[in-house]
Amino acid sequence: AQKVTQAQTEISVVEKEDVTLDCVYETRDTTYYLFWYKQPPSGELVFLIRRNSFDEQNEISGRYSWNFQKSTSSFNFTITASQVVDSAVYFCALSEAMDNAGNMLTFGGGTRLMVKP
Amino acid sequence: EAGVTQFPSHSVIEKGQTVTLRCDPISGHDNLYWYRRVMGKEIKFLLHFVKESKQDESGMPNNRFLAERTGGTYSTLKVQPAELEDSGVYFCASSQFGQRGDEQFFGPGTRLTVL
């Protein structure tokens, strides 16, 4: 069965620090998708990124970057030069591609990031 | 374009009462999902509609939960009778194509408190 673990429940940094949010996943499928969502105080989950299991290229989008390593089953998320507006709960999620897997997302427990001015 | 909306944002009910949650997906999205997060736990999948049909309801916890999507537009999730362990945040999401790996767009959730 699939599982996503976000070991860091809460992280606190000072503005302009870099911070990495860890995500480790388990799946028996060879084809799968990994996601990161951000949950700001308003409550909705905001999509940040999707990667498929065949694409291990790291990705950078502005201050955000993602490091996907199949060898360690990890999909870590780094925010460079953090800002107060980055304060939110961040969720990592997995979607398997097996025929009977459905379209459901399996979420990690979330990491609450607090960026202090 | 309007996002996924959910109503109410908060609901406080007594144990044994009935509550109905509503989700309006993004217009044109045939796929609608319900998830919930109970206190201190992960967000868990409940079910998936394709238009008005239940594609996957493997996550529904028990028969006190009834989800409907008449006409393939908005969906309701009824809890009857509510129990204390049903407290949590109920999220709705929608996607256009329903293919594995599709981005699911989430609503703000309904926070349900059962006293």
Radius of gyration of chain A (CA): 14
Q: What confidence tier does B107 reach under pLDDT thresholds 50, 70, 90? A: very high
Strand partners, A49: A36
Q: Tell me what pLDDT residue A102 has.
A: 63
A28 vs B6, residue with greater confidence: B6
What number of other Cβ atoms are within 10 A of residue A43's Cβ? 17
In chain A, which residues have their Cβ closer than 8 Å to the Cβ of B42?
4, 106-110
Interface contact B42-A110, CB threshold 8 A:
yes
pLDDT of residue B1: 66
The pLDDT confidence band at residue B76, using thresholds 50, 70 and 90, is very high
Contacts of B93 in chain A (CB under 8 A): 45
**For residues B74 and B22, is the Cβ–Cβ distance under 8 A?**
yes
Instruction: Look at residue B100 in the predicted model and tell me its pLDDT.
Output: 73
The answer to whether residue A100 scores a pLDDT higher than 90 is no
Mean pLDDT of A108-114: 97
CB contact under 8 A, B42 and A109: yes
pLDDT on residue A98? 63
Q: What is the Cα–Cα distance from B55 to A102, expressed in whole angstroms?
A: 8
Report pLDDT digits (tens) over A25-65. Answer: 999 888 899 999 999 998 889 999 999 998 888 888 899 99
**Average pLDDT, stretch B28-44?**
92
Question: Is the per-residue pLDDT at A72 higher than 90?
Answer: yes
Q: Closest Cα to residue A36, out of A3, A65, A7, A73?
A: A65
pLDDT at A1: 75
Whole-number pLDDT of residue B85: 95
- Contacts with B71 (C-beta within 8 Å, 6 or more apart), sequence order: B52
In chain A, whose CA is at the least distance from the CA of B42? A109
pLDDT of the residue at B99 = 74
The confidence score (pLDDT) of residue B96 equals 86
pLDDT band at residue A101 under the 50/70/90 scheme: low
Dump strand ranges (E) for B14-74.
19-24, 31-37, 43-50, 53-56, 65-68
Higher pLDDT, B49 or B39: B49
User: What's the rounded Cα separation, in Å, for the pair B107 and B22?
Assistant: 11
Does residue A99 register a pLDDT over 60? no
Q: Taking the CA of residue B106 as centre, how many other CA atoms within 13 Å lie in the half-sphere pointing to its CB?
A: 26
How many Cβ atoms are within 10 Å of A107's Cβ, its own excluded?
23
Residue B11 to residue B113: CA distance in whole angstroms: 6
Q: Which residues of A touch B48 (CB under 8 A)?
A: 102-104
Residue A116: the pLDDT is 97
**Angle in degrees, CA B71, B27, B79, rounded to 5:** 55
CA dist A79 and A19 (Å) reads 5
Q: Say which DSSP state B113 is in.
A: E
